[in-house]
Every structure is written in C-alpha cells, then in structure tokens.
Amino acid sequence: MTTDRNGRRIATDGGEEFEEYADLGATTADAMAIAETSMDRVHELVPQERPNDRLRAKSVHATGDSEFQYLMRFANDPVPAGARAVLDERPIVTDITMVKSGITGRGHDCEVRKAIGNGAELAAETGMTRTAASVLELDREGVYEDAIAVVGNAPTAALALADCIEQGTRPAVVVATPVGFVKAAESRQRLRDVVGEYDVPAVTNVGRRGGSGLAAGLTNEFVHVASDVRSGETTLDALEAGEL
Amino acid sequence: MTTDRNGRRIATDGGEEFEEYADLGATTADAMAIAETSMDRVHELVPQERPNDRLRAKSVHATGDSEFQYLMRFANDPVPAGARAVLDERPIVTDITMVKSGITGRGHDCEVRKAIGNGAELAAETGMTRTAASVLELDREGVYEDAIAVVGNAPTAALALADCIEQGTRPAVVVATPVGFVKAAESRQRLRDVVGEYDVPAVTNVGRRGGSGLAAGLTNEFVHVASDVRSGETTLDALEAGEL
C-alpha cells in the first residue's frame, strides 16, 4: 500500500495497482486519472464530514448534478450497515438486470443477483408488475433477509419490498432510488416510513429523479467503504459513531 | 389491433395484449397501467409535434425531470435514421454492459452487443481507458459502420467514437449521453462537431448529466418508432419530412 501525489492510498492488489477510492473499476492510467479528477471535483462540491456524506458525494458523482446531494435521505446509519453487509459477504439483490450490471465486480465477494425473472406465475395470476412479483417471490425464499436490497428502477418493487419489511423481513440495508412520474416518489416515501418504524438502515432520495445508475453507484459506495475498513482506513465502530 | 379508452392502439401480439407505445416491456395489467399513466404525464410536459419530440419525451421519462427536454440536442434527423436502422436489423452497440442491459428485448431483431471487453491489449499497451480501447477495436472490425452506436457512460468512448467517424466510419445513428464531471460534456460537444461535419444522425445532451438509463431509453425509442412504422402508424418518409 502506497500513497499517490494527493496523499491517497494506492492499493496493490494481485499485482495490479489501482487507486482504491475513486473507482474500483478504473484499471488503466487514463481511467484512473479521470476517476481521480472526477472525485476531486465532487469532493469540492460535497464536503466529507460524516459517513452519509460519502453517499451524498456518490449521488452527485452518479448523476453529474451537484444539487442531488440535497435530495438524499438516510435512515439508521446505512454506511456502516452497508459496509458490514459487504464484509459479511451478504448477497446484493437488485430489482432489474440493469442495476445488477452496474454493481462493481471488484472489492467484494458478495453474490450479486437480480429479482426480475422470478415470480412469473404470481405476476400472471395477479396482474401485478413482474418486478413486484419477483421481489415477493424472492422474499418467500428468504433472499432479502440480511441482504443488501437494491431498487433502482421499479417503484412497484420498492412498494413490494416495503410490504416484505412490514411482514418481518429485515434486509441489512436498503438502497431505493426508483425513477419516474408514477409512484416513484411515493414508493420511496412508503419505504422511508417502514424502515423508520422497523429500524432498517436505508438510503433513498426524494423527488421524481433517481434510477439504475444512482442505485448501483450508492451500492458500490458500500463496497468502497468496506475496502476502507479492510485496509484500516476506518472502522465500523467509527462509522457507527458518525465519524469518517 | 384495437384502441384503449384514450384512443391509443392496443396491439395483440402472439395472443398477449400490450399497449404498444408506452412501454414494450410492460406485460402485466399493473405494469401497463403505470407505463400508460407515466407517458400521459410526460406528454403533458412535452407536446408531441415533431419527430424529435419523441426523444425529448423519452429523456423526460428516463430522467424523471421535465427540464431535461431542453438539454437534448439533435443532428441530421436521428428519429427516422434510428427507426430505419432498427427496421434494417442493424446492430445496437453500447459502450458498457449496463446500457446493453437497458435495451428492450422486444420489438426488434437487432443484435445488441457491448464494446467493453474488447481491446484489452490496446488499453494495456497505451493506458487509454478500456472503453475507449474497446470502441477503437470494434471499429477496426467494422462493427460501427451503419450501426446504432450508443454511449451512455464513458466520455472516452464518445471521444473514441468521434475519432472513428472522423476517420471514415458512418454509424446509422449515434446516441451519446455520457455523464459526469470530467470530459462528459466536452466529449458530447466533440461528437456534435464531428456528426455535424460528416452528416451523421445523432442525439446527445448538453451539461454534465446523462447516463446509462437515458441512453438506453433513447435507443428504445427508436424501437418504438420502428414499431409504429411497421404498424402503419407513421412512415419513414413522414418522419424524414419532420412529421410525426
């Protein structure tokens, strides 16, 4: 482990050097330079003082919009909860394929799976959306218990997940940023109500915006934080105490 | 073919009814209702008068932001060009996996492929980003010629694509909405300069925002338009004349 010219850690992992924080996916000189410059600009816009600021920064990074930090909402310390779940190698369960595709393949050993594709019979029988049915089906199988539950696209998946939590399921952490004009904001509000009542850690946003890229970015941030815990840069105790 | 209560066409396709325009992926009653309500709200915000308005509407739908329509830029009639390419079953080539995952599987017979994963040697040799190298590698193989070229994430892929066009490659249409703080806006401006010079149809946006969901949504709109051409709702000639 060495540091770069800005004093940030450079990890040597399997013989390949990469700048850990900025982007675990950046592996070439150009990509690392871009990732580093990009996070420098984001950090000018989002001062890093508390754990949730890492998610605020990631929201700005993922959307390209400095205002997005003010749209983020947090419940029950999602950063240490998400990092702990990554360190415990809990599954990351996304609503749709696109969000799954956005989850980094590096820095974790969590199984990454998607809900969509399950529950086809339930959807056909009831007329509910395929994503909602898929969440209910996976929940029946116990998949969401202590998992990293991610909804980036489908409001009805977020509503189904809220129902599951209300009925006793306890994800390790919830990431929910479905986008759109119908039920998106409402589904996130419903999730906030439920995670508040049952003490489930969660990160969501307000408003109609959001989407798969944002959800994947926030989830990847848990992986980055877990890497920092692994390297001794921070600890879960410190994060739980509200320190970076 | 029948019409729903709002006078829109309902297609009966393989025994399965679905509302054609709103969302080719919506197959259950709840999903169709959501897709329909959602496009109704979008169309209140983005009047549909000219072909490019379909892409403006899609940008609002994909981002959940009514202001996004004013950030869209068009060159050389991308709507008929994109629809024609879909009807001709030209390949859809995306920069990254996440964009590929967002391309609808219904309503077209185009091969959908991603650039990333190609050109690893070139990236390792030169230090350029893996996505830029992958675009150059596929272009060497002739993949981008007359293809639907989509960049949703990587500014360096957009810059590489601009170089390819400058050196003689002619995609059927370009969709470019890379997001971020470093080179994203600049890469789209460079593409606009090049497609303007070489008469390549293109849809891009200005500003730092954008992303995979937007790029996939815009590309899917070409599929929707192609479906409308196939069903006789409109024609390529009408679209080329600037009519809906």
Confidence of residue B27 (pLDDT cuts 50, 70, 90): confident
Q: Which of A165, A117, A123 is nearest to A144 (CA)?
A: A165
Give yes or no: residues A26 and A81 share one domain: no
Instruction: Write the ipTM.
Output: 0.89
CB-CB under 8 Å, A98 with B212: yes
Same-domain pairing of A188 and A95: yes
B137-159 pLDDT, tens digit per residue, is 999 999 999 999 999 999 999 99
Contact A34 B62 (CB under 8 A): no
CA triple A59-A65-A66, angle to 5 deg:
80
Residues 6+ apart with CB under 8 A from A225: A51, A54, A79, A80, A82, A83, A86, A234, A239
Nearest to A127 among B30, B155, B211 (CB): B30
B39 and B57 together in one domain: no
Domain assignment of residue B36, given as a range: 1-45
Residues A69 and A5 in one domain: no
Q: What residue in A sits closest to B123 (Cα-Cα)?
A: A28
3-state secondary structure of B150: strand
For the residues B94-107, what does the mean pLDDT come to? 97
* DSSP-based three-state secondary structure for A76: coil
What pLDDT does B8 receive? 37
Predicted pLDDT of residue B5 = 35
- B156 plus B188 within the same structural domain: yes
Please list, in sequence order, all residues whose beta carbon lies within 8 angstroms of the beta carbon of residue A184, skipping any fewer than 6 positions away: A155, A178, A208, A210, B64
Which CATH number fits the domain that encloses residue B64? 3.40.50.10230
Does B56 have pLDDT greater than 90? yes
Please indicate whether, in this complex, the C-beta atoms of B37 and A216 are within 8 angstroms of each other.
no
What pLDDT shows up at residue A3? 38
Q: Which residue of B has its CA nearest to A216?
A: B98
Put simply, the answer to whether B42 touches A102 (Cβ < 8 Å) is no
Count CB-CB contacts under 10 A for residue A142. Answer: 10
User: Which residues in chain B are contacts of A129 at CB distance < 8 A?
Assistant: 28, 30-31, 34
Q: Are residues A112 and A28 in the same domain?
A: no
- Residue where the block lists tokens 């080179």: B183
Q: Which residues of A are catalytic?
A: 61
Burial (CB < 10 A; 0-12, 13-18, 19+), residue B178, is: buried
Instruction: Note whether A38 and A156 are same-domain residues.
Output: no
pLDDT at residue A35, as a whole number: 87
Interface test with A, best of B34, B135, B205 (most A CBs within 10 A): B34
Nearest to B102 among A41, A98, A207 (CB): A98
According to the model, what pLDDT value does residue B25 have?
66
Tell me the mean pLDDT in the region B93-102. 97
Whole-prediction pTM value?
0.90
pLDDT, one tens digit per residue, over B68-79 is 999 999 999 999
> Do both B121 and B187 map to the same domain?
yes
Instruction: Give B35's pLDDT tier (boundaries 50, 70, 90).
Output: confident
Burial environment of residue A9 by CB neighbours within 10 A (0 to 12, 13 to 18, 19 or more): middle
Q: A122 and A180 in one domain?
A: yes
Are B102 and A100 a contacting pair at CB < 8 A? Answer: no
Same domain (yes/no): A105, A190:
yes
Provide the pLDDT for residue B87: 98
**Domain count across chain A:** 2
- Structural contact between residues A144 and A172, judged by C-beta atoms closer than 8 angstroms: no
Do β-strands A173-176 and A202-205 pair in parallel, antiparallel, or remain unpaired?
parallel
Residue B128: which of A30, A100, A183 has the nearest Cβ?
A: A30
Which of the given ranges, A26-40, B2-16, B225-239, has the highest pLDDT on average?
B225-239
Same domain, yes or no: A14 and A76: no
Chain-chain contact of A209 with B65 (C-beta, under 8 angstroms) = yes
Please give the average per-residue pLDDT across B189-200, as a whole number. Answer: 98
Q: Report the pLDDT value the prediction gives residue A25, as an integer from 0 to 100.
A: 66
Which residue in chain B is spatially nearest to A43 when comparing CA positions? B181
pLDDT in tens, chain A (244 residues): 333 333 333 333 333 333 333 455 688 898 889 888 999 999 999 999 999 999 999 999 999 999 999 999 999 999 999 999 999 999 999 999 999 999 999 999 999 999 999 999 999 999 999 999 999 999 999 999 999 999 999 999 999 999 999 999 999 999 999 999 999 999 999 999 999 999 999 999 999 999 999 999 999 999 999 999 999 999 999 999 999 9
Closest in A27, A101, A127 to B98, CB measured:
A101
A64-68 long-range contacts (CB < 8 A, ≥24 apart) are A64/B179, A64/B180, A64/B181, A64/B184, A64/B207, A64/B208, A64/B209, A64/B210, A64/B211, A65/B208, A65/B209, A68/A205, A68/A209, A68/A214
Residues B33 and B76 in one domain: no
pLDDT at position B1 over 80: no
- The residue from A9, A29, A45 where one domain ends is A45
